[in-house]
Structures are given as C-alpha cells and as structure tokens.
Structure 1
C-alpha cells in the first residue's frame, strides 16, 4: 500500500467514524423512534423511494448504454458531440425546474418523478460509457481482427471487459445521485422518503426529518458499496485501476 492509498483509507475511516458517531448520537436522542412507531408507513415510503430510483435508473441504462455504443462506432462518431451536448444540457437544468416541467407534461405522481430522475441519470452513464469505449487501444481491436474475431466478438470480448470499470463508475454516480434527488419527488406527489424529510423541515420536527434523511443516506452508501463490489467482480484484473487492485 503506497502513501496515497494509506491517506485515502485514513480519511475514509475518519469520515465513516464521524458519520457513525452522528447516527449513534441522534439514535440516543430518540430521533428515529418514528421509524419503529410507524413501521408500516416507513416501509411504504422506503419502497416508493427504491422504486423511483430503480425504475428511473433502469430506463437510463436502457437509453444511455445503447446510445454510447452507437456513437462510439466509427461510422457514427459524428453524432457523439450532438448527443453529448444534449445530455449536458439536460443535466444543467435545475432538478426542481425539471420536476415543474414534468408536472405540465405528465401531471403529478409517480410518472413525472421517474421521468425527471431518468433525465438526470442519463448523462453520467452515457459520458462514462463513451469514455470507456473510447479509451480502448485500437491495437487491441486490430489484434482481435487478426485472430479472426467478428465485430460482435471484438465488442463483447475486448470492448465490454475493458470498459466495464468506467461503465460501472457511471452507474454508481447516476444511482447515488438518484437516491438523493428522489426525495424531491415529494413536491409532485411522487412519494418516497422525501415525504418525511420535507414534513420535518416544514414542521421543524427533527424526528420526521432524520427518520427520512438517515435511511436515504444509508441507502446511498449501501448501493454505492454494492456497485463498487460489482465493479471489482466484473472488471478483469488486468485492466483494473491500481486502487482496485490494491483491494484484492
């Protein structure tokens, strides 16, 4: 382990320790009692939050990954700047403005909230996938051709494994952002843990606020850790960044 990796681990340990102290202190103050006294409502809101994040993220993956594959093919690279600018433009619009726009188009409820989260998820996934595919050495593809591989075999056996780390990193960014942004679905009747968060803010009630905010935080940390583990599993050892290799 080199000096930078040691510093990184120490900083992470300190941050996680501070978060743990905060959770323990707030639990001792009884701020999470609402989760245990109104368990049914908590699980309904938690399920709604997961559904918002899951559906919007799946839609983003279904759009962003094929689009990234399309614009990184030699014949269609001329469309890369156009799609990148469109995705960047969608990301620059404030999240509340997107939600307000969706109300005018789709009304209130689950559907507009999912669509707004979908718009925010596309850019990180698309950008990282494009970067991953573009980073592959052309000599590797030429070697595959020399071995008699078809274009499909080159894609699945060379391009996908070598770009998997960048793709997973984009997924991590998009989904963790979605977990936090999904709380805003409360404003358009989309449900989720934002109901308790913003009720707590409006009523100056820390029990409501933390009973919503802390599960959202833990959800984001848990999903990020899960995707980081998946990234280590699916990324071939030979193409892993040094930080990932040090973990094994």
Structure 2
C-alpha cells in the first residue's frame, strides 16, 4: 500500500472576455502556476468574432473568425499549460448587454463547481474595454455570492501598477509576479493567436529578441484591500478565508 502523502492541487479560475486576454495580459503568470501543478480553468465569455484584425495578410472574415480564434485559443492554452477551457458563448462586444443576473449566476455555478483557491478577472472599472468591465463586474459579484474560501484578483495591463497611486490604490494592494522564467511560454501563446499578432513584427523576431519585449513582472490588484498580508509575490499567499471587497 502506497502511503505517500500528496498535497492537493491548488486551483485557479480565470474568467476573461476574449481569446487572447489570457496570453496578452497574464500569460506569464498562468504559465508559472501551470508549471507548479496548479489546476487552471480558463473561461472566455466570447470567441472574439468581432476582432478587428483578420490576419496578416487578411485570411479571415466574420464567418470564419470565431472558429479560428477558438482554435488559436486552444493552442495558446497548450502553450501555457492550461488544462480546461470553457466558453460562455456570448457574442463578442455584447457582454455589457448580457443579462447581469443570469451571467452572474452562470459564473457562480462555475465557482461552486471548480472550488478555486484563486479567481482572476478584470476590474469592473479599470478593464479598458466594455466587455472586460462587464465580465469583471459579473465575476466579482459571483465570487461574493459564492462565499468560497479563496482570493479574488484583478488583472492589470503591463507595468501600470508600478505606480498604483494613480489609480487610487497603494502598493500593498498590488501583487507583483515574477514571470521571467516563463516568457518563452508566453511568447508561444502570443504566436498561437496568429490572426491577432501577425501584424506585430516584434512577435516574430528570433525568440531571444521577441521575449525582450516582455516585462519581467505581471501585476494584479487584490480585491481584498483590507488584507495585511506581507507576501506580495504569490497569488496563493493570502490566507484562505481572508475576504473583503472593493466598495
């Protein structure tokens, strides 16, 4: 009889709006935790069928865009180590018009099912796109409703949160994740989203030149702004059960 004790896998649920959100914004972080055997579930509200980029040179149209972007997202998930991908089947650029109560309930059901230790989504005001803000608002409400013992974080863009005071936050609200060891995986995920990155010459430079365009860190805002937790470099560091939300 094998009595070897194995600690249970940690779980992360990422709820975003479009294919490529996962790679372009926090691909390094997802690859890092996947490499540490965190069980990751990615939810995309849409299939990105209204994306403005059609490839370079253009090879897609509105009829073929959704299927192509789904295939690209699945390839990006393989590059990042994401085990499970789900779609909410909302039309691109219409998430803000979806019934809020129904959308919140759907996401809450997923939270109950997955039982994640960490949930990632967009900030409902700092998301930068109506779809981003809408899925962030619904996910935040679903997390609050669920009452799970876990932590909620908002993804942010680039190194904007090096100076969080500009956005009404302080440094203790920011999680700074070192992803330098996972930039190759992030680059592979960028390249998987070919129709969106084909026009970006730097993505297709030799690997060592391309990864030099990435920052060493990715940044996340803690929804629990009242936490006194000192460890600001691990999304799983906040004690389970620590709760508190933006007003």
- Taking structure 1 as the reference length, what is the TM-score of the superposition? 0.26
**Greater per-residue helix proportion:** 1
- Of the two, which has the highest radius of gyration? 1
- Taking structure 2 as the reference length, what is the TM-score of the superposition? 0.26
**Greater per-residue strand proportion:** 2
